[in-house]
Structure 1
């Protein structure tokens, strides 16, 4: 099951990434053309803005797009060293995963022995709640990203906007960065619709993007994430900004899951009662006993 799961997940990620990279040059040209149209409207339209300021802004935007394209293409597998590092990391991950699946509860019990016996039960519950929050976050984020990509992709296909698959792949990948990712992907979709189909089509695409984002914010996120992973939007934005500054794109992707784990664990530790987490027990099964407690901890749950 583990090998089959890795194969399915790897195949899906490969399809999404290859589709996005292959469509990136045409997507870039569409965005650049849409920026040129916006510049003409700002200079020759009712606003009559200065062309120098607009040109500087467009040049910065085009430079950012080109830099991102260069980073993606240069980050492809080009050398034997990179291939070796990826394979080594993958094999190490699979090796660790096998032991986590085989004896995860035993490893966790060993870790909890490093804390005093009187608080061991509370640390055990807090750790399992934090891990359950991480599991819920990953599952919910993947489901939300899929719904966003399919919803916006169907809307773009109905309207007749080109590059439906690359744009859908972009929406799927960007959805893993909460709040900011959806806004950026939706903006690109609107710009492509503007240059390809005109102003009315761009407005319709904007309405589709807003509708999908509202569905995500008010239905999918509360329903799938639940209270175990619920975070304030301001905390999410600050976490993403901190992760981006600290560790780049990888930091932005990992900041919110880490915040969710810390949020659930700290809330559990500060709680007065030694109760089991409301979410599914992901670290213990029926064949394992709870962590050992000390002589003065006989009433711990």
Structure 2
């Protein structure tokens, strides 16, 4: 065993010596010398200067301001094309869109009454039916009273208008113009000739108006039925619409819709209150001054107040003209003063106090909206323009509002309401 032990130790020593010699030789081997000629070296890659707002190196060569302008331009083009298509579709089916818009306004107006009846434990269908019947009865009774007073006062108004024309003729002869009888007669003949030459167009307009009676009746029935179902099933209809969108967008869309509907309701109710105060003030002034058609003119002021700024001015001008024809210059000037006073009170007291900040819109936006509405849809467009702007203002603000982020350590309770 001792001999074998010595042999094993010798082999181990020889193996270790061989490993040490190999390591020493490897450490002493010189490193390869670098190339003396740079043409044998690999070329260094060119640095890529790509702006963080671009997707390729070619886009980085375009100035940043031009890229931003181009991005805005094509997006505005897309939005404009979509808006044009929407307007064309609305114009094609205007006989349906206009009654639905009016039904939405009426639903926003009558909604609190339906809610009050529901709190009295009445069935929803019965509450909606009672509100609709009362609303239709109020409108029909007001129209009947206006038409009856207008029919009763037409003879007197015609007589006063004839007297006014004679006064104008006399003033043209004896006033600063000093027109002769022949010149006055020529002016009258020119006016009659214009009426005779336009008789065909006026007649065709009347015929066209008669031809649209069926469309008016259809629109009226659609307004009634749509208002009834909006009042009864409006919440269900809105939930069905919200479910058509992706899950992540449903909460934001539902929140924006609720806020927009609240804005529409506040606007309609405030407008009705302001219109009633305007009609009451001007109607009392006309009654005190003993002007003919006081109630019909007050009703006209009430309807005109639904078109902000423009409607009140036009209805007030009509009241002044009627006072001029009926009672003369003095009463007309007093009526003008009363109209201006009421409108100033509306613009500086009633609008800020009643409308409030919830539906506050800049007057420039109101004027532009009314002008666009008149160009696109006439009187209906002017009526719908301002509430549409108010609703879009509230909805877009809610949609653009950032939702608060939930902390990572927050405890989520199943069935809890979404964050505000």
1:229 corresponds to: 359
2:328 corresponds to: 198
In structure 2, relative to structure 1, the CA distance for the partners of 1:241 and 1:126 (3 Å cut) is same
1:4 corresponds to: 130
1:159 is aligned to 2:289: yes
The counterpart of 2:222, out of the listed 83, 89, 103, is 89
Q: Once the 2 structures are TM-superposed, how far is the Cα of residue 124 of structure 1 from its aligned partner?
A: 2.2
Q: Once the 2 structures are TM-superposed, how far is the Cα of residue 121 of structure 1 from its aligned partner?
A: 2.8
- 8 Å contact kept, 1:34–1:191: no
1:23-102 matches, within 5 Å, as 23=150, 26=154, 29=158, 45-46=175-176, 81=214, 85=218, 88-89=221-222, 92-93=225-226, 96-97=229-230, 99-100=232-233
In structure 2, relative to structure 1, the CA distance for the partners of 1:77 and 1:269 (3 Å cut) is closer
1:243 corresponds to: 373
Q: CA-to-partner distance for each residue in 1:208-231, whole Å, 9 max, x for gaps?
A: 111111121122212222222111
- 8 Å contact kept, 1:191–1:202: yes
Q: Once the 2 structures are TM-superposed, how far is the Cα of residue 85 of structure 1 from its aligned partner?
A: 2.6
Q: CA-to-partner distance for each residue in 1:134-182, whole Å, 9 max, x for gaps?
A: 1111111111111111111111111111111111111111111111111
Q: Please, which moves more after superposition, 128-137 or 28-37?
A: 28-37
Query: SS of 1:228's equivalent?
Result: helix
- 8 Å contact kept, 2:157–2:325: no
| Bigger Cα Rg | 2
Which has the higher relative contact order, 1 or 2, with Cα contacts under 8 A spaced 6 or more apart?
1
1:253 corresponds to: 383
Q: Please, which moves more after superposition, 37-46 or 171-180?
A: 37-46
1:179-198 matches, within 5 Å, as 179-198=309-328
Gaps of 5+ in 1: 275-294
2:92 corresponds to: none
1:147 corresponds to: 277
- 8 Å contact kept, 1:34–1:192: no
Misfit runs of 4+, over 4 Å:
27-56, 74-78, 81-84
- 8 Å contact kept, 1:151–1:212: yes
2:305 corresponds to: 175
Q: TM-score, normalised by structure 2?
A: 0.53
The count of corresponding residues between Structure 1 and Structure 2 is 266
In structure 2, relative to structure 1, the CA distance for the partners of 1:75 and 1:260 (3 Å cut) is farther
- 8 Å contact kept, 1:229–1:260: yes
1:216 is aligned to 2:346: yes
Q: Once the 2 structures are TM-superposed, how far is the Cα of residue 45 of structure 1 from its aligned partner?
A: 4.3
Query: SS of 1:114's equivalent?
Result: coil
1:282 corresponds to: none
In structure 2, relative to structure 1, the CA distance for the partners of 1:236 and 1:85 (3 Å cut) is same
The counterpart of 2:250, out of the listed 120, 133, 144, is 120
- 8 Å contact kept, 1:31–1:188: no
In structure 2, relative to structure 1, the CA distance for the partners of 1:31 and 1:210 (3 Å cut) is farther
1:277 corresponds to: none
In structure 2, relative to structure 1, the CA distance for the partners of 1:159 and 1:94 (3 Å cut) is closer
- 8 Å contact kept, 2:259–2:394: yes
Q: TM-score, normalised by structure 1?
A: 0.72
Gaps of 5+ in 2: 1-126, 405-413
In structure 2, relative to structure 1, the CA distance for the partners of 1:186 and 1:34 (3 Å cut) is farther
- 8 Å contact kept, 1:156–1:205: yes
- 8 Å contact kept, 2:128–2:232: no
CA RMSD of aligned residues (A): 4.0
Q: Once the 2 structures are TM-superposed, how far is the Cα of residue 2 of structure 1 from its aligned partner?
A: 2.2
In structure 2, relative to structure 1, the CA distance for the partners of 1:75 and 1:181 (3 Å cut) is farther
